Amino acid sequence: MTSTDRKAAVIVTSKFVQSGSSTFSSYVTYLDRDEAKKEEPTFSSYNDYMDDGDKATSLFTAAHNSLSSKQKDDLKEVFQKGQERGSILYQDVISFDNNWLEENGIYDRKTKNVNEEKLKEVTRKAMKDMHDKNEMGNNLVWSGAIHHNTDNIHIHVASVDLSPSKDQRGKRKLKSLEGVKSTFVNKIQDRSAEHQKINDIIRKEIVHDKKERKTFSTFDRKFKKDFMQIYKQLPENKRYWSYGYENINHVKPALNQLTKDYINHHYKKEFNELDKRLDREVAELKRAYGEGGEHRYKDYKKNKMADLEKRMGNAFLSEMKSYDRQVKQIKSKKEAKKYTRKYERAKTNVAFKQMKYGLDRVVHSEMTTGKNQAAHERLQRDIERSNQR
């Protein structure tokens, strides 16, 4: 027998019987103890037990909330056909803590009234999911009945496969049974409003507000110092400036500590409220799922705190990207100014050199012209002296 945690508000157990078995197993013998029959038991007779009016409400199926006499006969024939074809008879039982059902509006202790419509609706969802996870095909037929004959309200479900494979598996996967339990817990115990509030505290009241509150706009030097120490250790490629990348694992401890200190300084009230709500959810999950095995309550709070850590980490990293852009813009402007000054100086030097060159040319030209004139005058005098002789 495969079973989920027995110390829980919802318990799921599963057994199976081979088609050629001479008995339904000790479990079916227990169920049939008041109606023991001498003839060889058949799969179809299990429906007779389930449909016993002293113990249960009428049978229901994937398509019907109750069955007429003809529909019951047809169902028995289907189960007989499954047995003849060698199908395993799957027997699943979902048992509830009546107090838990009462707290969630399914059961009224005073009137003994049970919201069977809701239980049938959830059973259909749970059975479909389980059969899908166990890859049992489309020719599976099941019937269920809600029993009131014990201290705990419970649902019996019997299933047969009309097209059984040669390697059909009788034992349910434990994960699929846990899935059945999760379906009943989530559909009966609606905690969506509480979960939404928890998410709002994390995402809106803390993380979103932090995004609007820049680290460098505060007067706390420690935050700025820690911010800069992390910033300086980040890889050059800003693509990796995201909490999920392993490339920044070396700064995550410091980043997480910055988150912790920052929240303690700016969001202490919100964080305390979050902590209390998470503890309440853990208690609810522990009660619904039990304490043994790998149940959600063990990781629920840890996962939510990790989510807060990741979102805050990304908020800081996003701010560091923005800071890095500003730093580069300032450097770029400084470089531009520096280049402009050099260019202006160079331009001035070139103009000066050009002016000096021009002056030099003028002076040289004038000097050359003067020399030529003097030479010309000397030549004229020499010519005049020669003519006088």
- Classify residue 2 by its DSSP letter: E
What total of structural domains would you count in the chain? 2
Are 89 and 196 contained in the same domain? no
Of 188, 213, 245, which residue is a domain's last? 188
Are 124 and 70 contained in the same domain? yes
Are 213 and 152 contained in the same domain? no
Q: Is residue 243 part of a domain?
A: yes
181 in Cβ contact with 12 (< 8 Å) = yes
Q: Is residue 249 part of a domain?
A: yes
The CA distance from 22 to 10, in Å, is 32
Domain of residue 144, CATH code: 3.30.930
Map residue 75 onto helix, strand or coil.
helix
Q: Is residue 32 part of a domain?
A: yes
Closest listed residue to residue 286, CA positions, set 302, 276, 297, 301: 297
The CA distance from 84 to 316, in Å, is 66
Closest listed residue to residue 170, CA positions, set 81, 62, 92: 92
pLDDT in tens, the chain (389 residues): 555 566 789 999 998 888 766 533 333 333 333 333 333 445 555 555 555 555 546 789 999 999 888 988 888 888 888 888 888 888 899 999 999 999 999 999 999 999 999 999 999 999 999 888 877 767 889 999 999 877 899 999 998 888 888 777 777 788 888 899 999 999 999 899 999 999 999 999 999 999 988 877 666 678 899 999 999 999 999 999 999 999 999 999 999 999 999 999 999 999 999 999 999 999 999 999 887 655 667 789 999 999 999 999 999 999 999 999 988 888 777 666 665 566 566 556 555 566 555 555 654 565 555 555 555 455 455 545 555 55
The CA distance from 48 to 197, in Å, is 47
The residue segments making up the domain with residue 75 are 2-188
Are 255 and 315 contained in the same domain? yes
Are 198 and 295 contained in the same domain? yes
CA atoms within 13 A on the CB side of 36: 8
Which residues, at least 6 apart from 368, have a Cβ–Cβ distance to it below 8 Å? none
Are 13 and 128 contained in the same domain? yes
Q: What is the DSSP string of 91-118?
A: EEEEEE-HHHHHHTTSEETTTTEE-HHH
Of 140, 157, 188, which residue is a domain's last? 188
Q: Is residue 231 part of a domain?
A: yes
Provide the whole-model pTM.
0.69
Are 182 and 204 contained in the same domain? no
Residue 52 phi/psi, 5-degree rounding, is -65, 115
DSSP H or E run through 184: helix 174-188
